[in-house]
Structure 1
Amino acid sequence: QIIFLIIIYVSFISLGFGSSLIGVAWPSIQAEMGLPVSYGGYISTIRTLAVIVVCYLLSKLVSRFGIGKVGLYACIIMTVAWLGFALAPSYIWLLLSAIPLGLGAGALDSALNDFMAQNYSSRYLNWLHSFWGLGAVIGPLIMSGTVAKPGGWRTAFFIITGIEAFISILLVFALPMWNKVIHKEKNINNNDRKLQDDFPLDYSHLHPLKMPGMVWSAACFFLYTGVETCIAMWSATWLVIIRGLNDAEASGLVSTYFLGIMFARMISGVVSVRVTNKQLLTFGQFLLIIGAFLLFLPIPAAVPLLVMGIASGPIMPTMIHESPRRFGPIGKSNPVGFQMGTGFVGSTLLAPIFGKICAVLGFNWYPILILILSLILLFSNGMLNRSIKNIQTA
Structure 2
Amino acid sequence: MTNLLLALIYLAFISLGLPDSLLGSAWPEIYPGFGVPVSYAGIISMIISLGTITSSLLSDRIISRLGTGKVTAISGLLTALAILGFALAPNFWVLCACAIPYGLGAGSVDVALNNYVALHFKSTHMNWLHCSWGIGATIGPYVMGIALSGGGSWQSGYWYVSCIQLSITAILFLSLPLWRRQEPEDYGANTEESPGSDASSAHPRPLKLSQVVWIKGVKEVMTCFFCYSVMEQTTGVWGGTYLKLFKGMDAAAAAAFAGMLFLGVTLGRAASGFLSIRYSDQQLIRLGMILTAGGVLLLLMPGPAIVTVCGLMTIGLGCSPMYPAMIHATPQIFGREHSRAIIGVQMASFNVGMFVMPPLFGLIAQHLSVGFLPVYLALSLGIFALMQRRLASLYV
- For normalisation by structure 1, the TM-score amounts to 0.79
Q: Does the 8 A contact of 1:17 with 1:136 survive in 2?
A: yes
What SS does structure 2 have at the residue aligned with 1:313? Answer: helix
The answer to whether residue 319 in structure 2 is matched with residue 315 in structure 1 is no
Question: Match for residue 175 of structure 1?
Answer: 176
Paired position in structure 2 for 1:267: 271
Shift of 1:379: 0.7
Using the TM superposition, give the Cα deviation of residue 336 of structure 1 relative to its aligned residue in structure 2, in angstroms: 3.8
> Is the CA contact (8 Å cut-off) linking 1:81 and 1:101 kept in structure 2?
yes
1:287 match: 291
Which sections of structure 1, spanning at least 5 residues, go unmatched?
196-203
> 1:217 aligns to what?
221
Is 1:372 the counterpart of 2:386? The answer is no
Q: Tell me which moved more, 309-318 or 237-246.
A: 237-246
Distance 1:284 1:263 in 2: 13
| SS of residue in 2 equivalent to 1:50 | helix
Taking the aligned partners of 2:242 and 2:151, their CA distance within structure 1 comes to 24
Question: AA paired with 1:104?
Answer: G
Provide, for residues 224-247 of structure 1, a one-character-per-residue CA deviation record: whole Å limited to 9, x for no partner. 12333334455677789973229x
Give the deviation of 1:147 after TM superposition: 4.2
Q: Percent identity?
A: 33
Moved more, 378-387 or 348-357: 348-357
Alignment correspondent of 1:93: 94
TM-fit CA distance, 1:321: 3.4
**4+ residue runs over 6 A deviation:** 236-242
Question: CA deviation digits over 1:314-359, x for unaligned, max 9?
Answer: 111122234466x54255694443333222211122244345555x
Aligned partner letter, 1:226: V
Q: Contact (CA 8 Å) 1:13, 1:135: kept in 2 or not? A: yes
**Match of 1:162?**
163
SS at match of 1:124: helix
The alignment yields a C-alpha RMSD, in angstroms, of 3.7
For residue 21 of structure 2, give the secondary structure of its aligned residue in structure 1.
helix
CA shift, 1:77, in A, is: 0.9
Please list, as runs of the form range in 1=range in 2, the aligned pairs for 1:136-151 lying within 5 A after superposition.
136-151=137-152
Distance 1:10 1:335 in 2: 24
Is contact 2:17-2:135 (8 Å) kept? yes
Partner of 2:335: 329
- Structure 1 residues 336 and 113: CA distance shift in structure 2, 3 A: closer
In the alignment, which residue of structure 2 is the partner of 1:344? 351
Q: Which amino acid aligns with 1:315?
A: M
Contact 1:286 1:378 in 2 (8 A): no
Greater RCO, 1 or 2 (C-alpha within 8 Å, sep 6+): 1
Question: Corresponding residue for 1:229?
Answer: 233
Q: Is the 8 A contact 1:38 1:355 kept in 2?
A: no
Correspondence for 1:193: 196
Which residue pairs with 2:204 in the alignment? none
More deviation, 306-315/95-104: 306-315
Identify the range of structure 1 (103-112 vs 55-64) with the bigger mean alpha-carbon deviation.
Answer: 55-64
| Pair 1:153 & 2:154 matched | yes
Contact kept in structure 2, 1:280 and 1:318, CA below 8 Å: yes
Letter aligned with residue 48 of structure 1: S
Relative to structure 1, the CA distance from residue 262 to residue 92 in structure 2 (aligned partners, 3 Å threshold; closer, same or farther) is: same
Give 1:382's aligned residue.
Answer: 385
Deviation at 1:73, TM superposition (A): 1.5
Instruction: Write out per-residue CA displacement over residues 100-144 of structure 1, whole angstroms, 9 at most, x where no aligned residue.
Output: 111111122122223333343443333222211111221233334
Question: Matched residues in 1 for 2:158 and 2:307: separation?
Answer: 28
Tell me how far apart the structure 2 counterparts of residues 184 and 64 of structure 1 sit (CA, whole Å): 16
SS in 1 for 2:87: helix
- Amino acid corresponding to residue 264 of structure 2 in structure 1: G
Q: Is the 8 A contact 1:15 1:132 kept in 2?
A: yes
Q: Is the 8 A contact 1:227 1:347 kept in 2?
A: no
Q: Which amino acid aligns with 1:42?
A: I
Q: CA deviation at 1:43?
A: 1.9
Post-superposition CA distance 1:168-188 (Å, at most 9, x none) = 121122122212344789422
Provide the rounded CA distance (Å) in 2 between the counterparts of 1:318 and 1:78: 26
CA distance in 2, matches of 1:78, 1:368: 37
Counterpart Cα distance in 2 of 1:281 and 1:216: 15
Partner of 2:118: 117
> Conserved in 2, the CA contact under 8 Å of 1:23 and 1:236?
no
Deviation at 1:97, TM superposition (A): 1.7
The 8 Å contact of residues 263 and 310 in structure 1, kept in 2 or not, is answered as yes
Change in CA separation of 1:286 and 1:119 when aligned onto 2, cut-off 3 Å: closer
Q: TM-score, normalised by structure 2?
A: 0.78
Unaligned runs of 5+ in 2: 199-206
Q: Aligned pair in 2 of structure 1 residues 299, 289: CA closer, same or farther (>3 Å)?
A: same
Task: After superposing the two structures, state which structure 1 stretch, 349-358 or 50-59, moved more.
Answer: 349-358
- In structure 2, the partner of 1:84 is 85
Partner amino acid for 2:377?
S
Describe the shift of the 1:300–1:386 C-alpha distance in structure 2 as closer, same or farther (beyond 3 A). closer
Matched-pair contact (CA < 8 Å) for 2:331–2:338: no
The count of aligned residue pairs is 375
Alignment of 1:347-366 (within 5 A): 347-355=354-362, 360=366, 365=370
Q: 1:215 to 1:117 in 2, by over 3 A?
A: closer
